């Protein structure tokens, strides 16, 4: 009798453990990857917050198909080698989808890992044109447009303000050089002459030599492909050498961090970035909630990051099952109401319904140019 009771207790405990284990298997893991520390944290933290905040509301409402979402965030500091390690970690964690990566170079480095196992990846900010145009990464989508479109907006604007010659600088990276290459192509369409095309060394303290070289060819404007640390130094050193022509960068410099680094020398600088959607009712409400929670404006790519997690969660709800193929089909085949508007994706994974605009630093803040 005693043995029977002991066995019954053991079976009951095992049964309780089995129920607990089954409950843990009901969790849905979504990865978010980007720079959450280091020089580029201002690009990654807004998306990390967007994902966490939206998932919090989804879980409070019952999750996805009755399952709780668990967010796994991995920091890769926009470094390609770290991004590869992060991608494998997220695969090992069992992520059904990944929001990220943020920088194009990190995204390109990580994508093969996700592609090999079919995991959908939705980036809020990786604009390198070749990511989608190469056809190498069929599980990738993005809630931001791509650099060929960004360059098109840049050169169209420069043409409108009468620019006839340009110098094009870049940081030699996947994003920076990619955008610069696209700018060269667009310049040809408008008959704008490229007087100089040259890469700079990221992280250098002094760019006075390249600034002298640019001043020597005396272009009507300078286009820069790269990020805010280098752009702020270039702009400051151009001003210090009394060489003042329009300076335009991409979304990699459209951040308050650039203005903080360049200070008064940032005044008048142009940048292309996603069109302002902050006045959309949904976006206004989400941004207000962010300010109340964190005590500050959301930051760059927040709206696109929020849209990315909205897309993934709705796709999970709409998918026939939670396997990667079904989720990807729901992403690529869906239409989504998001913080960047109503969007969908083409067969390559490029977003439909989102474009770029030109911004200028006016009185210490970026303002969209009409």
Tokens representing 128? 């390198």
Amino acid 20: pLDDT: 27
In this predicted structure, what is the pLDDT of residue 25?
56
For 119-166, the pLDDT digits (tens) are 999 999 999 999 999 999 999 999 999 999 999 999 999 999 999 999
Span 148-250 CATH architecture:
3-Layer(aba) Sandwich (3.40)
Residue ranges of the chain whose pLDDT lies below 70 = 1-25
Where do the CATH 3.40.50.2300 domains begin and end in the chain?
23-144+278-355, 148-250
SS (H, E, C) the chain: CHHHHHHHHHHHHHHHHHHHHHHHHCCEEEEEEECCCCCCHHHHHHHHHHHHHHHHHHHHCCCECCECEEEEEEECCCCHHHHHHHHHHHHHCCCCEEECCCCHHHHHHHHHHHHHHCCCEEECCCCCCHHHHCCCCCCEEECCCCHHHHHHHHHHHHHHCCCCEEEEEECCCHHHHHHHHHHHHHHHHHCCEEEEEEECCCCCCCCHHHHHHHHHHCCCEEEEECCHHHHHHHHHHHHHCCCCCCEEECCCCCCHHHHHHHHHHHCCCEEEEECCCCCCHHHHHHHHHHHHHHCCCCCCCHHHHHHHHHHHHHHHHHCCCCCHHHHHHHHHCCCEEECCEEEEECCCCCEECCCEEEEEEECCEEEECC
Closest residue by Cα to residue 123 from 150, 135, 141, 96: 141
Identify the pLDDT of residue 26: 84
Q: Give CA–CA dist 133/186, Å, rounded.
A: 17
Residue with tokens 């991004």: 83
Instruction: Supply the pLDDT for residue 14.
Output: 35
Superfamily of structural domain 23-144+278-355: Response regulator (3.40.50.2300)
Residue matched to tokens 């990315």: 308
pLDDT for the residue numbered 4: 33
200-225, pLDDT tens digit by residue? 999 999 999 999 999 999 999 999 99
Which residue's structure tokens are 């067969």? Answer: 347
38: tokens are 């280091």
pLDDT at 370: 81
Dist. CA 55–CA 71, nearest whole Å = 8
In the prediction, which pLDDT does 5 show?
A: 34
Assessment of whether the complete model's pTM goes beyond 0.85: yes
Strands 351-352 and 341-345: antiparallel
């Amino acid at each position: 009798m005693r043995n029977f009771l002991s066995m019954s207790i053991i079976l009951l405990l095992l049964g309780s453990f089995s129920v607990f284990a089954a409950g843990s298997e009901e969790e849905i893991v979504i990865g978010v990857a980007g720079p959450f520390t280091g020089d580029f944290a201002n690009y990654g933290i807004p998306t990390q917050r967007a994902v966490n905040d939206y998932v919090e509301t989804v879980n409070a409402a019952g999750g996805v198909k009755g399952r709780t979402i668990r967010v796994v965030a991995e920091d890769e500091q926009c470094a390609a080698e770290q991004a590869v390690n992060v991608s494998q970690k997220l695969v090992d964690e069992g992520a059904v989808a990944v929001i990220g990566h943020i920088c194009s170079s990190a995204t390109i480095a990580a994508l093969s890992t996700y592609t090999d196992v079919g995991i959908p990846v939705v980036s809020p900010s990786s604009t390198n044109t070749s990511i989608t145009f190469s056809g190498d990464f069929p599980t990738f989508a993005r809630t931001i447009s791509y650099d060929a479109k960004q360059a098109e907006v840049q050169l169209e604007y420069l043409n409108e303000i009468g620019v006839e010659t340009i110098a094009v600088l870049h940081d030699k990276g996947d994003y920076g050089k990619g955008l610069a290459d696209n700018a060269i192509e667009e310049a040809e369409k408008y008959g704008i002459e490229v007087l100089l095309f040259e890469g700079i060394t990221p992280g250098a303290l002094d760019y006075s030599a390249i600034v002298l070289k640019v001043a020597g060819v005396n272009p009507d404007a300078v286009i820069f492909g790269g990020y805010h640390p280098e752009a702020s130094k270039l702009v400051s050193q151009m001003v210090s050498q009394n060489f003042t022509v329009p300076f335009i960068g991409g979304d990699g410099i459209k951040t308050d961090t650039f203005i903080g680094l360049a200070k008064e020398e940032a005044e008048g600088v142009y940048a292309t970035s996603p069109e302002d959607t902050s006045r959309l009712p949904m976006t206004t409400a989400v941004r207000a909630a962010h300010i109340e929670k964190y005590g500050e404006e959301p930051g760059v790519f927040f709206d696109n990051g929020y849209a990315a997690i909205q897309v993934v969660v709705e796709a999970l709800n709409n998918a026939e099952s939670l396997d990667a193929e079904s989720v990807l089909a729901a992403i690529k085949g869906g239409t989504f109401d998001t913080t960047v508007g109503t969007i969908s994706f083409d067969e390559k994974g490029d977003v439909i319904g989102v474009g770029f605009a030109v911004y200028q630093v006016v009185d210490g803040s970026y303002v969209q140019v009409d």
